[in-house]
Structure 1
Amino acid sequence: MKAVTLVRGTIAAVIGTLGLVTGLSAWSQTRSCLDRTPSGVQHSDFVAAAARQSPVVVSITVAGTGNDWALGGDMPPPTRSGQGVGRGFASGFIFQRDGYILTSAHAVTGAQAISVATADQRRFDAELVGIDSRTDVALLRIAASNLPVVPIARSSELCPGEWVAAIGAPFGFEHSVTAGVVSANPRYMPGGNGIPLIQTDVALNPGSSGGPLFDERGNVVGMNSMIYSTSGGYFGVSFSLPIDTAMRVADELRVTGRVTRGHIGARTQPLTAELAPAFGLAAPLGALVVRVDADSPAEVAGLCSGDVVLAVGDVATMSYAEVQDRVASASPGSRLTLHVWRHRAPLTVQVGVAPSAPDIAPKLVLQPEAGEVRFGLELVQGKGGLGFGLSESGLYVQAASGSAQRAGLRYGDALIAVNDVQVSRLEDFDAAIKSIPQSDTMALLVMRGSTRSYVPIPPRMSRRTALKP
C-alpha cells in the first residue's frame, strides 16, 4: 500500500497497474454455481443481516503503528528521533464468546498498544495472541465473556455474482456498511504465496481492514484485507481472506501463538489460457514458477523459473488452486513429488519441505509506564514558541513518549484543556491532572493545525482485569 503492490487496509499506499492479475481459477466454480438454487430473498437487502452482524463487529484503535492519528490536521511533524508514532484504526469481529477477535495482521504490526471498542460502547485493552503475516491474520483477546459471535459459512461455496456486504470503520467511522458483489472466488495474486482471496467490488477504505465480509444471509464468508488502487483509496477492486483460511490460522494461533508451516521456496502464478501456448501446453493447468529462492529446497531440487508444476503426488493434473493447497498443507520435513513440465517435456522432481519461520507476536505495553511525568509529555509554554507562527499563547508539545506517544500526541500539538478545565500554563496543566483520580481516564483537548479533538489518556492506576491464559 511501491509500484505494483497491494494496498492493505489501514495503511495508505500507491500501487501501479498490474498486468499479471489474470485469473485462472477465478471462475473455477462455474459448474457448481450454475447448479445453485436462488434463495428467493431480496439479494440487495442487507438490513436484517447487517443488524444481526453489528454486535459482533469491533472497532480497533492501534497506537504505535506509525500511522497518523484521528486528528489529521495540516501540521506535519518534524523528522526527529522518537517522533512519528501515531494511531491507526482497524476493524475486527468476535468469533469466540470468551473474547477472541480476528483482525488483519498488517493493521496491528508495530503496535505498542491495542484498544478494542465493542458495539455496546465498552472499551478494552487487547492482548495480541499471535499474528501470521502470510495470510494477514492477527488474533486478539480481550477480558470479556458471553460475547456475541459471528455465524460462519463456507467461503469456498461463494459464487461470482453473489451479493456480499462488509462492516467496518473506514476512516474511523464505526459500523459502516457497504455492499457489492463477488467478482471472483478464488483469486490468486502474483507474489501472494498462493493465498486464495475473494475479489469483490465492495467499497473498502483505510479502517475497514479486519472487518467481516458476509453473505446475504448474514453469515461471515471472509475477512476484509486489501484493495487494489492507484490512489490509496477505494478504486472498485477489493479483496477479502476466505473465512475458512482465517479460522484455520486463528485456531493454530489460539493454541500455540504461532503458525508453523512448510515451504519449498518457489514463487508461482496461475498458468492462464493466454500463457499456456507459450510453454507448449494446451490447457491452463498447474502453477507457473516465476522465481526460486536461493538455497531453498526448490533450488536444491533443481526447480527453475519457467517450469510448470502440473501436479503434486499421484494425481495426473491439478488446477493452480489444488497445487497451492497441496504444497501449503505439506508438513515440514516431508518430501513432495512434483510433476513438472519443462522445455515442452514432462519430468518428475523430488523436493523437500522446509519449515517456515513463524511470526512472533510482540508483547504490548498495555498500561501507563510507572513514574511517568505528565504522561511522557515535554511541554513548552509560550506564543508560537515552536516556530509554527501560532498566534495564541498556550502549551505546546515539544516531545512525546510513553502514554502520550501511544495516545497519538506529537511535536507541535497544542494542549487546550484537561477534561473540561482550560489550561494555558504548565501550572494549570499540573493542577488539572493532580485533581483527577489516578484510576480515572483523562481526556486532553488537543489542537493540531486548525483541528481540535479530545484524546483519551488511560488511568495511571489501572482498574482493568488482566487476561489469564
Structure 2
Amino acid sequence: MPYDEDPKQSPKEGSGKKEEEPFSFLQETIKPKPLSREKILSQLARIAIYGLIFGVFACFGFFALKPWIGKHFQGDPKTVTIPEDEEAKENEEAEAGEEQANATGLSALSYEEMMESMYETASEAYKGVVSVTASSNTEDWESTATGLRTSVTGVIVADNGQELLILADNAICADAQGWYVVFADGNRYSASLKKQDKNSGLAVFSVVRNNITDTTWNAVKVAELGNSNLSKPGDVVIALGNTFGYADGTGYGIISSNSYKEIFSDGECQVLATDIAASEDGTGILFNQEGQVIGLISPNIWEEKEGATANAFAISDLKAAIELLVNGESVPYIGISGTAVTNEIAQQQSMPSGMYVVQVDADSPAMAAGIQSGDVIQEISGTEVMNTSTYEKAVLECKTGENVKLKGSRLGADGYVDIEFTVTVGSQE
C-alpha cells in the first residue's frame, strides 16, 4: 500500500505558500534607548580629555626626541656660495675725497667720537671672530700657568645648516690631536678639521650647530667678507684676534701699502700692509670701517722682514679657494710658480706671451708631467693663459684627480717650440 503523507506536516506539491515559522510573533526590532543630553555631553568630555592627554604625551615625546632626530636626520648640508666682489663705483674716489676734506681740523671731541665709532664697529665685528686652539694628550704647564695657549685667530665665514664653518691659518693643524674653538662669549666647543690647503696656508674647521647653546648663538654671527680690491693706502682698518700674542687683541691703524703680492704655487695674493704693530707669530682678521673682512693677518708674509707689523692676505684673492674649502672640496694643485710674460717683454726677448715658469715644486703633478723651469704656459684645459691671474683661475676650475692638457712653448736650439703636457691635478692637504 503506498505511503500516504500527512497533509498537516508537509505542504502539497506545487503549492506556492511558504511554511510559517513557529513563534513568528516574537520577531521584532529592538530600538536603542535614546541618549540623553547629559550622556552626550559626558561622552564628548571623555573624548576631549583623551585627546588632551594624547596631545600632551605627543608634545613631550617630540621635544624629547628632537635633539636626537636633529643629530641623526639632518639631511644634506647646504652648498655655501661666496658672493663675488662688486666693481668699484665711479664716484667712490670723489666721495673719499669729500670725507677726507671733512675730516680736516679734528677737535678733541670729534676725535673721541671717531674712536668711539671705531670701538662700536670692532665690538660688532668681534662676534664673527674666534680662537682656534689645538688640543693634545699632554697638558702644557706654561699655558696653564699664564693662561696663554698656542692658538690662531679664526673667522666664522659660513653656516651650512649643520655646521658653523671657521676659516683660520693651517699652522694650528700640525701635530694636533684635535681642536676646540672659543667664541666671542668665552664658551668653548669641540671642532673638526673640515679641509685644509697647505699651499695657501688656509684651513676650515667646523662646529656642529646642535652643540651650540642659545647663549653662544646670541653672541656670534657669520662675518661678512668685503671687497679688498677697493682698499687703498690710508684707509683706516681694524685688526682683531691674536695679533699681539693673546687671543682677544684689538688694534687700529691704516693700510700703508697694497702694492705687493705674495707668490705661491699656482697663484699669488695681494698683501695689505698696515702700520699696526704685531707679534712675531701673530694671526688675526683685518676689518674695514664697515666691519667687513678684508684680510687675513698671517706671520708667513715676508718672513724675513725687520720690525713686526700686521700684514694680511687680501680676502678677495682667496675667495675662490675659501668656497671650495667650506664645501669640503680640495683646492686643485699643479705646482707651478710663474710670472707674466707681457706683450712688451715678449717682443723684447723674442719669446711667446703667457706665463713664464719660474719654479716647479718637487714631487708635484707638474714635475711628474715633465714641465720645467723656463717653459711658457699658454693654455690650460682650452683656456688661454695670459698672466698669473688667468692661470690661477683656470687651475681653480679644475677638479682634483682630473687629467688636464697644458700647452705652451719651450726654448730649443732653434728657438721656441710648441709643447704639450697631460697633468693629473692634485691637492695639498
Structure 2 residue 208 is the aligned partner of structure 1 residue 139: no
1:54 to 126, 137, 158: 126
What is the CA distance between 1:150 and its match in structure 2?
0.8
Match of 2:154 in 1: 92
Question: Larger RCO: Structure 1 or Structure 2 (Cα < 8 Å, ≥ 6 residues apart)?
Answer: 1
- Asked if residue 340 in structure 1 is aligned to residue 399 in structure 2, the reply is no
**What residue in structure 1 maps to residue 395 of structure 2?**
327
Larger relative helix fraction = 2
Question: Residue type of the partner of 2:291?
Answer: G
Give how far 1:280 is off.
Answer: 0.4
Q: What is the SS of the residue equivalent to 1:52?
A: helix
Note if 1:174 corresponds to 2:236: no
- Cα contact 1:135–1:241 (8 A) shared by 2: no
Structure 1 residues without counterparts, runs of 5 or longer: 1-30, 74-85, 360-469
Give the conservation status (yes or no) of the 8 Å contact 1:90–1:206: no
Cα distance change of structure 1 residues 34 and 326 upon mapping to structure 2, 3 Å threshold: farther
The alignment status of 1:307 with 2:375, answered yes or no, reads yes
Which runs of at least 4 in structure 1 moved beyond 6 Å after TM superposition? 31-35, 42-45, 65-69, 313-317
Q: Distance in 2 between matches of 1:350 and 1:230?
A: 38
Summarize the Cα distance change of 1:288–1:32 in structure 2 as closer, same or farther, 3 Å threshold. farther
**3-state SS of the aligned residue for 2:124?**
helix
In structure 2, relative to structure 1, the CA distance for the partners of 1:295 and 1:132 (3 Å cut) is closer
Percent identity between the aligned chains? 21
1:228 and 1:235 in contact (8 A); partners too: no
Q: Note if 1:164 corresponds to 2:237.
A: yes
- Is 1:259 aligned with 2:321? no
CA distance in 2 between partners of 1:65 and 1:280 (Å)? 59
TM-score (norm 1): 0.54
Looking at structure 1, the residues matched to 316 and 141 of structure 2 have their Cα atoms a distance apart, in angstroms, of 29
Letter in 2 for 1:340: S
The CA RMSD measured in Å over matched residues stands at 4.3
Deviations 1:446-469 (A, max 9, x none): xxxxxxxxxxxxxxxxxxxxxxxx
Gap change, CA 1:34 and 1:91, over 3 Å in 2: same
Rounded to whole Å, the distance in 2 between the matches of 1:350 and 1:125 is: 48
Q: Deviations over 1:209-244 (max 9, x none)?
A: 2x322223221122222332447x853472325256
Aligned partner letter, 1:280 = Q
Counterparts in 2 of 1:173 and 1:140: CA distance versus 1, 3 Å: closer
**Counterparts of 1:404-423 in structure 2 under 5 Å?**
none
Q: CA deviation at 1:127?
A: 2.5
Q: CA deviation at 1:181?
A: 0.7
Matching of residues 356-375 of structure 1 within 5 Å: 356-357=426-427, 359=429
State the structure with more CA Rg.
Answer: 2
Match of 1:429 in 2: none
2:321–2:331 contact (8 Å) kept in structure 1: no
Q: 1:268 to 1:244 in 2, by over 3 A?
A: closer
CA contact (8 A) 1:224 1:241 kept: no
Which residue number corresponds to residue 95 of structure 2? 38
Q: Return the letter of the residue paired with 1:196.
A: C
**Partner residue of 2:228 out of 132, 138, 155:** 155
SS of aligned partner of 1:323: helix
1:124 alignment partner, SS class? strand
Superposed CA offset, 1:75-96 (max 9, x none):
xxxxxxxxxxx95121112223
Contact 1:66 1:87 in 2 (8 A): no
Number of the residue aligned with 2:184: 119
Rounded to whole Å, the distance in 1 between the matches of 2:390 and 2:139 is: 38
Provide TM-score, normalisation by structure 2.
0.58
